[in-house]
Each structure stands twice: as C-alpha cells, then as structure tokens.
Amino acid sequence: MRAVRVHRYHEDPSIDDVDEPKLQGPLDVIIRIGGAGVCRTDLHIIEGQWDEIQHPQLPYVIGHENAGWVQEIGEGVTNVAVGDTVILHPQPSCGLCLACRAGDDMHCENAFFPGLSNNDGGMAEYLRTTARACVKLDAATDPADVAALADAGITAYHAVRKAVPLLPPGTTAVVQGAGGLGHIGIQCLKALTATRVVVVDRSPDALALARDIGADETVTADGDHVAAVTDLTGGGANVVLDFVAEQGAEMDAWHMTGANGSMFVIGYGGELSIPTLDFVAGEKNVIGNIVGTYTDLAELMVLAQSGKVTLHTRKYPLDRAVDALHDLDAGRVRGRAILVP
C-alpha cells in the first residue's frame, strides 16, 4: 500500500510502498482509510519536536486524524463490523487502568498513538487500531468530511467543554487563531454556550470564516489587537482559548485574559513568562489542554452529524501529501487539509 513516511527529521516525508498492517491482537481493527487530516503536529513531528517524548523508530507512517471503513476485525471485537463507517479516537487505550476507569482515557497508562508513537499512522491506505478507538458513524457519512474531528475536533471540543462552567450568559470568550482547530472551537462555543465570542487572527480570510460560523466580533492581529480586545471586553475576557501559543501569541493571550479569568492553552511552541504576582493579584488561571477523550469524540460527532459543527476542508490526494504539508506550513489552508487515498 502507499503510505506517507518520515525517514529523517527536518526533511520532507516520502510516499512509499509498504506492507499492509496485520491484526496483532483479538481487539485489533484494520481500517481502510477514507480521510486523514493534516495537522500542525505533523509539522512538529517532521521537525523532530516529538522525538524525545515518543521515540518513534524511523522511518514510520504519520497521520493521527483518521476516519474510514472497517476492513478486518480481531476475534474479540463486538462493537463494530466489517464495512462499518468509523472515526477513530487518535489514542487507543487499554480500558483497564485507573485513568481509563475514570473516563480520562487520553491519560491511559498503556495507550499508543498511531502517527506519533512508535506505531504507524493513517496517512496511508490502511491503518491498524483497536476496537476501543472506533466510533461508529452513519453509513452515509463521507470519512474525508469528518476525519480531522478525530484530533483537531476533540482537542478544541475538550477545551471548550472544560470552559463551559466559566461561560454563563453575559460573559465573553476570546478565540485566538481561527485556523484548523480554532474554527472548530468557535462552533463548539456557539453550540454549548451563550457567551459572546470574539475571534482574533491576522488573516482576513480566517476572520471572514469566523464571522460566517458565528463569531460575534472579530479583531485583526495587527499589533494593536490586545488593546482592541481589552476595550471590547471592558478590561479582558472571562476566557481566552489560545489555539496559537507561539511566536508571542501566548503572551498576547495572557494579556487579553481579564481579572479572575482563565487562559486555556491549546496551541504550543511558545513560552509563557509571567510574574507570579500577576496570578495572585489578578486571580488569573492558565489551563493546559490535550486531546479529548473517547466520550468527547462521541459527543462531538453528535454535534457534527446534526450540522452544528462543520469542518471546512481542503482535500488532497494521498500522493500530494507533501504539498498539503507545505500549504499548511505557509498558511495557505483555511480550515483543515485532508488526504484522501
């Protein structure tokens, strides 16, 4: 089969012919990929940023946002059948550790992460995962239309879900970055809360998309945006969701957060430098966020299949994976890039 593999860090991946994955255990599932999302994390992987955390053996197949059709199942699988349309939680979990028992399966002690850990991902024609990762979809769903919800979607949803108790009517939430994750976060905020949503981005196209999907106010990130948001919010927002968190944006997010407010960090790559007195005097919070749980994915798919959260995508054939990665890196992708084998 064809697959997108990283051979060396700081170099483009290549399209290789490799063996199809095989079942390795009774709960394994082989998926025929219908869509694989292209994520900024893939760019970070290629840069070697995940090497110390995950230690993948090169070369390996990237791709952690996947949806498709069940091709083959292990003898112990009962929740899906061959032919089912599914979206995959990106991190198959064991179901037995304390984190899994508590529904906190993204912190599973025995999880693996296809496309990040030493396990081949889904930028390929087939992928091996487990039954615990599969969420069944309506048979009419095109996997390419929803694939990026498997990671970008549940990461955004997970952060918004945590922020909901802080956002009763009359509050304001700022979304910094209306790209692949941010445009999902905007829709989740509108679906789950009555808060006023202010979106900050440097791209006019991204801000236009934000308005189309429900943003109440938009602000151009032009150097004066922190002051503009402070004026709009009467001193700072109740919640700031930072989907950028690099190149200084992380400090902008902190300064846009009002007294007794909370800054949710979803993007990464930058570094916060905050005097401890600012935490104490302002009673401000910084909250980290990682990929959401299986339950988050199931809930998000209810919103998606009811039309309340829609992915804006640009599709590429699998053979143009490098073009998709370059377009993402250059800011030429509005919404999410999706590879279709």
Closest CA to 186 of 159, 168, 205: 159
Task: Give the whole-number percent of the chain exceeding pLDDT 70.
Answer: 100
Q: Is 112 buried (19+), middle (13-18) or exposed (0-12) by CB count in 10 A?
A: middle
Superfamily assignment of 154-288 in CATH? NAD(P)-binding Rossmann-like Domain (3.40.50.720)
Task: Give me the residue spans of the domains in the chain.
Answer: 2-151+293-299+310-340, 154-288
Tens-place pLDDT, residues 45-76: 999 988 888 889 999 999 999 999 999 999 99
**The pTM is what?**
0.89
Q: Check pLDDT > 90 for residue 282.
A: yes
Confidence of residue 311 (pLDDT cuts 50, 70, 90): confident
Tell me the β-bridge partners of 314.
337
CATH class of 2-151+293-299+310-340: alpha beta
Phi then psi for residue 285, to 5 deg, are -120, 145
| Terminal alpha carbon distance of the chain | 10
* Helix and strand numbers, DSSP H then E, in the chain: 12, 16
Specify the pLDDT at position 71: 98
Q: Is 59 buried (19+), middle (13-18) or exposed (0-12) by CB count in 10 A?
A: middle
Tokens 């070369």 -> residue: 59
Q: Check pLDDT > 90 for residue 312.
A: no
Tens-place pLDDT, residues 9-34: 999 999 999 999 999 999 999 999 99
Q: Check pLDDT > 90 for residue 8.
A: yes
Specify the pLDDT at position 264: 98
**By the 8 A CB rule, do 269 and 329 touch?**
no
> How many Cα atoms sit within 13 Å of 203 on the Cβ side?
18
Tens-place pLDDT, residues 218-259: 999 999 999 999 999 999 999 999 999 999 999 999 999 999
